[in-house]
């Protein structure tokens, strides 16, 4: 008899949407006819804790404990009756199930307030642009964070809304600290986790539990689940996989790991999982597993004798979100960063357009690992089929395409397919700022539902971008960001400081570039992070080639990824973090853009060497206007109504064609000579974006010539062509 599988995501990832790994794997098992279930223990634990019943239990435990509370936590404890009274309505409000509560929340008399609300005095600027519902959600978010502070201080120091014991999972070359944390008595948090896990076991009665650990902040919760299952259900096989294992556990030698779990899988989970299921069904020898660690006779053995290749993306099936409480996720609002707000607000279906990264060269990235190295795109038609299935299944139209970098050509084809199928989709994704993202392509992406993109500007220095092998320049990033912004798509820039050999001057110049990007309004959101040297990146594998020295000890038995290093040619990078983040916070809100850069630092820095007009000049420079002969021509608008009238100019009478167009907000007209007007009326139905067959620019040029209308190049430079372009004619 085939075994039943339960996929779980341990606490915590996001409050507003499930992490997609379990839905991907469940979708794959559906294609094989195998029974599986899934659970997001993160949202389940949050909803159990943040309920009237959960808070009663919390405050009761505090009452009987001898823990000393800070003034802030004691205030929350003293207001416990108010928190218990208000928590259930607030949670329903954050589920978008109780919208009228916004009025009571906003008048500041309903919610009990503690330390987190003190920051509101600094955020009056934000509330001027927020609607009442958004303002209420932000206040409700602060209310939850106050309770989270109490839990972290008095109940479980490992608690965080989007991470749990993250420190234990970061660069943990030794398993000692994790084991020590797992063996201490349970807290209210870990008790709640195992109680909910028990409910899932009772409900689904699985033979195998697969624990997906995407981040260090899920690792402790994952091991806690494994520990509970090994103690109470020794016959259930426990498997761990996910992003953490794929990056950190590639040289696993620590046998104590297998006191808590039975197997660790690496990289794409479909093929390893299938091999494991066949092994547990008695249909495969253990030596023929695919990328699986197990303990055999007390020793950790890596089994990778399977002859099968990985499952092609086209055969993995549509992600299946059933079993997950899709209407119980919480839309919270942090207003500090527009992209982080998008990340945490609203329910997003996660979908991958292509396996791996089509660029795959960046020297700071883990390009040696399979999930980035092996590039395998899907077809636009198959992607749209999956989008339609997921919308039908979840009744949600929001999509986050979770690619390392979404390929421009695939995005073009996908956008065309979305529009042709008349789908309503709202989506965002991660890109490289490459020149193929033209103004016209950005307009097409907007028409298909794109609302935001994020991309790595990293260090805004051409020397360092070249050293990183990013394949872009700062000027090019500016032009692409401008194209997205003009199309009405929000742009978020990932920014990096501390890349090997980065000097103080380059750090200041990079900040000046960022200041100008915000000043020009072509980037709306950003985030600085410190460069981290990882074991699977070109920098980590060949540090001498980047003029840095690795300081990390030899690989440990447990996790290995982040590498300590020195940068003898670079600046003292630690000095800059606070000033970079503070300046960016202000730039994102349109303030302090005229401050001298030295104001952000409490130590002497050199003046910038960047021209104050550098970004403005970059975006005014037109990109190369060479258009591919096989470029597609498509028309986003409606078909025109043609009328012909006569116009006297001096003694001569001319026939004039007027084409009247209607769009969603207005009507507009083009006047031209009759021959061109009649040709446009004839040709434009062939250019409609809803047509299944694309129309090439070369074919359009031939049609123009066959109609005897003269030089196509002259026409392309005419007023009529410009007005058509402004109205929705795209060259892709």
Please write the tens of the pLDDT for every residue from 338-349: 777 777 778 899
Q: Which two tokens stand for residue 712?
A: 């196509």
Terminal C-alpha separation, the chain: 53
Residue 285 shares a structural domain with residue 395: no
Q: Are residues 565 and 596 in the same domain?
A: yes
Give me the helices (H) in 302-376, please.
338-344, 370-373
Position 49 scores a pLDDT of 96
The model's confidence at residue 624, banded by pLDDT at 50, 70 and 90, is low
Res 524: pLDDT: 94
The Cα-based distances of 344 to 233, 356, 404 in angstroms read: 35, 25, 19
pLDDT surpasses 80 at 493: yes
- Quick check: 163 pLDDT over 70? yes
Using CA atoms, how far apart are residues 42 and 21, in angstroms rounded to an integer? Answer: 14
Q: Three-state SS for 492? A: strand
- Per the structure block, which two tokens stand in for 521? 């309004």
Residue 413 maps to a domain: yes
Q: Identify the bridge partners of residue 431 per DSSP, sorted by sequence position.
A: 455
- Beta-strand pair 426-431/398-401: parallel
For 596, other C-beta atoms within 10 Å of its C-beta total: 9
703: containing domain:
632-731
Query: What's the structural domain count of the chain?
Result: 4
Task: Identify whether 328 is part of a domain.
Answer: no
Query: In 3D, which of 421, 299, 430 has the Cα closest to residue 353?
Result: 430
> Which pLDDT belongs to residue 128?
52
CB-side exposure of 206: number of CA atoms within 13 Å? Answer: 25
Query: In this structure, what is the dihedral angle of CA atoms 286, 267, 539, 302, given to the nearest 10 degrees?
Result: -10
pLDDT band at 232 (very low <50, low <70, confident <90, very high): very high
Q: What does the pLDDT average to over 690-700? A: 89
pLDDT, tens digit, 9 for 90 and up, residues 383-439 = 999 999 999 999 999 999 999 899 999 999 999 999 999 999 999 999 999 999 999
Q: Are residues 230 and 355 in the same domain?
A: no
- The CA distance from 528 to 522, in Å, is 17
pLDDT of residue 621: 81
* Cα–Cα distance, 464 to 364 (Å, whole number): 11
State whether 303 and 450 are in the same domain: no
Q: Identify the residue with better confidence: 509 or 534.
A: 509
What is the per-residue pLDDT for 173?
Answer: 83
Return the structure tokens found at 204.
Answer: 């689904």
Tell me: pLDDT of 691 over 80. Answer: yes
178 occurs within a structural domain: yes
124 pLDDT higher than 70:
no
Taking residues 699-710, what's their average pLDDT? 91
Angle in degrees, CA 295, 301, 302, rounded to 5? 125
In this prediction, residue 646 has a pLDDT band, given cuts at 50, 70 and 90, of confident
- pLDDT exceeds cutoff 90 at 122: no
Distance CA 624, CA 633 (A): 18
Average pLDDT of the residues in 499-517:
96
- Report the C-alpha dihedral over residues 43, 49, 50, 54, rounded to 10 degrees: 140
Question: What's the helix, strand, coil split of the chain in %, to 5?
Answer: 45, 15, 40
Compute the distance between CA of residue 418 and CA of residue 425 in angstroms, rounded to an integer. 8
Residue 540 or 54, more confident:
54
Q: Is the pLDDT of residue 484 over 60?
A: yes
| In a shared domain, residues 291 and 364 | no
Angle at the Cα of 236 from the Cα atoms of 320 and 247, rounded to 5 degrees: 60
Mark which of 591, 617, 643 sits at the end of a domain.
Answer: 617
Give tens-digit pLDDT for 581-606: 999 999 998 999 999 999 999 999 99
Q: Is residue 286 one of the residues assigned to a domain?
A: yes
Which CATH number does the domain housing residue 30 bear?
Answer: 3.40.50.2300
In this model, does residue 14 exceed pLDDT 90? no
Of the residues 160, 193, 217, which one is the last residue of a structural domain? 160
441 in a structural domain: yes
Provide mean pLDDT across the span 558-578.
89
Do 470 and 527 lie in one domain? The reply is: yes
Both 459 and 585 in one domain: the answer is yes
Cβ atoms within 10 A of the Cβ of 643, count? Answer: 12
R_g of the chain, CA atoms, integer Å: 29
For residue 636, give the CATH number of its domain.
3.30.390
Looking at the fold, whether 55 and 37 belong to one and the same domain comes out as: no
* pLDDT band, residue 626 (cuts 50/70/90): low
pLDDT (0 to 100) of residue 609: 95
28 found inside a domain: yes
Instruction: Give the model confidence (pLDDT) of 282-336 as tens digits.
Output: 999 999 999 999 999 999 999 999 999 999 999 999 999 999 999 999 998 876 6
CB 405 within 8 A of CB 432: yes
Report whether 289 contacts 272 (CB < 8 A): yes
- What gap in Å lies between CA 535 and CA 364, rounded to an integer? 10
Q: Would you state the pLDDT for residue 335? A: 64
What pLDDT is attached to residue 472? 92
- Number of neighbours of residue 406 by Cβ within 10 angstroms: 26
Considering the domain architecture, whether residues 250 and 384 belong to the same structural domain is answered as no
| Nearest-angstrom CA–CA distance, 475 and 610 | 12
| Domain end (from 261, 292, 308) | 308
C-alpha span between 642 and 655 (Å, rounded): 13
The DSSP 8-state label assigned to residue 257 in this structure reads G
pLDDT value for 172? 75
* 641 shares a domain with 612: no
Which residue in this structure is represented by tokens 């194209």? 483
CA distances (Å), 654 to each of 639, 642, 644, 668, 679, in order?
25, 16, 10, 22, 18
**Tokens 């890349």 identify what position?**
499
CATH number for the domain spanning 426: value is 3.20.20
pLDDT of residue 450 exceeding 60: yes
The SS3 of residue 355 is: strand
Which of 46, 54, 76, 77 lies closest to 64 in space, CA to CA? Answer: 77
Q: Is residue 324 part of a domain?
A: no
Lowest mean pLDDT segment, chosen from 162-166, 203-207, 367-371, 477-481: 162-166
| For residue 123, pLDDT beyond 60 | no
Structure tokens that stand for 488 in this block: 């009405």
* pTM of the predicted structure, to 2 decimals: 0.92
As a whole number, mean pLDDT of residues 679-695 equals 91
Q: Domain check: are 200 and 272 in the same one?
A: yes
Mean pLDDT estimate for the chain: 91
List pLDDT tens digits, range 649-669: 777 777 888 999 988 888 999
Give CA–CA dist 402/23, Å, rounded.
Answer: 14
Residue 553's pLDDT band (cuts 50, 70, 90): low
Q: Is residue 644 helix, strand or coil?
A: strand
User: What does the alpha-carbon distance between residue 336 and residue 525 come to, in Å, rounded to a whole number?
Assistant: 10
d(CA 314, CA 378): 6
Instruction: Say whether both 425 and 497 belong to one domain.
Output: yes
Residue 331 maps to a domain: no
């Amino acid at each position: 008899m085939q075994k039943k599988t339960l996929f779980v995501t341990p606490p915590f990832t996001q409050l507003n949407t499930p992490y997609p790994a379990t839905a991907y794997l469940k979708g794959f098992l559906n294609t094989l006819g195998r029974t599986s279930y899934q659970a997001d223990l993160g949202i389940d634990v949050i909803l159990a804790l943040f309920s009237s019943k959960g808070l009663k239990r919390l405050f009761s435990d505090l009452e009987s404990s001898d823990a000393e509370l800070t003034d802030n936590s004691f205030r929350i404890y003293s207001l416990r009756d108010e928190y218990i009274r208000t928590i259930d309505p607030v949670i329903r409000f954050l589920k978008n199930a109780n919208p009228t509560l916004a009025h009571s929340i906003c008048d500041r008399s309903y919610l009990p307030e503690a330390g987190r609300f003190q920051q509101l005095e600094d955020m009056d600027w934000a509330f001027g642009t927020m609607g009442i519902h958004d303002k209420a959600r932000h206040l409700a978010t602060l209310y939850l964070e106050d309770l989270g502070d109490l839990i972290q201080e008095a109940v479980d120091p490992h608690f965080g809304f989007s991470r749990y014991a993250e420190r234990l999972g970061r660069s943990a070359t030794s398993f000692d600290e994790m084991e020590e944390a797992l063996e201490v008595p349970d807290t209210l948090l870990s008790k709640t986790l195992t109680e909910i896990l028990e409910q899932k076991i009772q409900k689904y009665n699985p033979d195998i539990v697969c624990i997906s650990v995407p981040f260090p902040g899920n690792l402790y919760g994952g091991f806690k689940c494994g520990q509970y299952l090994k103690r109470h259900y020794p016959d259930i096989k426990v498997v761990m996989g996910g992003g953490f294992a794929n990056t950190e556990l590639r040289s696993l030698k620590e046998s104590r790991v297998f006191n808590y779990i039975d197997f660790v899988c690496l990289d794409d989970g479909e093929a390893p999982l299938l091999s494991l299921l066949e092994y547990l069904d008695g249909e495969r020898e253990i030596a023929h597993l695919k990328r699986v660690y197990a303990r055999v006779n007390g020793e950790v053995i890596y089994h990778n004798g399977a002859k099968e290749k990985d499952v092609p993306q086209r055969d993995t099936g549509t992600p299946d979100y059933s079993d997950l409480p899709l209407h119980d996720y919480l839309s919270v609002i942090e207003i500090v960063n527009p992209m982080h707000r998008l990340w945490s607000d609203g329910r997003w279906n996660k979908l991958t357009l292509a396996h791996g990264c089509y660029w795959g060269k960046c020297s700071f990235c883990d390009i040696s690992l399979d999930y980035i190295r092996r590039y395998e795109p899907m077809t636009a038609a198959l992607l749209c089929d999956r989008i339609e299935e997921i919308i039908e299944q979840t009744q949600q139209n929001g999509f986050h395409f979770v690619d390392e970098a979404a390929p421009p050509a695939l995005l073009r084809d996908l956008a065309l397919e979305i529009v042709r199928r008349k789908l309503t989709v709202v989506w965002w994704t991660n890109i490289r700022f490459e020149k193929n993202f033209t103004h016209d392509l950005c307009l097409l992406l907007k028409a298909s539902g794109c609302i935001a993109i994020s991309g790595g500007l990293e260090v805004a220095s051409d020397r360092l971008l070249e050293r990183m092998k990013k394949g872009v320049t700062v000027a090019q990033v500016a032009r692409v960001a401008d194209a997205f912004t003009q199309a009405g798509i929000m742009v978020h820039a990932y920014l990096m400081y501390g890349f090997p050999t980065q000097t103080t001057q380059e750090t200041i110049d990079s900040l000046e570039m960022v200041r100008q990007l915000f000043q020009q309004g072509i980037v709306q959101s950003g985030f600085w992070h410190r460069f981290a040297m990882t074991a699977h990146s070109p920098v980590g594998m060949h540090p001498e080639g980047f003029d840095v020295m690795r300081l990390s000890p030899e690989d440990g038995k447990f996790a290995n990824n982040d590498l300590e290093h020195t940068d003898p040619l670079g600046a003292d990078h630690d000095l800059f973090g606070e000033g970079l983040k503070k300046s960016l916070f202000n730039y994102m809100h349109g303030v302090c853009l005229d401050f001298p850069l030295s104001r952000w630092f409490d130590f002497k820095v050199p003046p910038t060497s960047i021209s104050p007009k550098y970004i403005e000049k970059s975006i005014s420079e037109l990109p190369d206007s060479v258009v591919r002969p096989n470029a597609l021509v498509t028309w986003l608008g409606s078909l025109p109504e043609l009328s012909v009238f006569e116009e006297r100019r001096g003694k001569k009478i001319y026939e004039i064609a007027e084409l009247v167009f209607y769009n969603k907000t207005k009507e507009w007209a083009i006047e031209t000579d009759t021959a061109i007007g009649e040709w446009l009326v004839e040709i434009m139905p062939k250019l409609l974006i809803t047509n299944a067959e694309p129309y090439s620019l070369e074919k359009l040029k031939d049609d123009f010539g066959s109609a005897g209308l003269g030089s196509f190049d002259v026409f392309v430079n005419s007023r009529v062509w410009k007005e058509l372009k402004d109205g929705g004619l795209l060259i892709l």
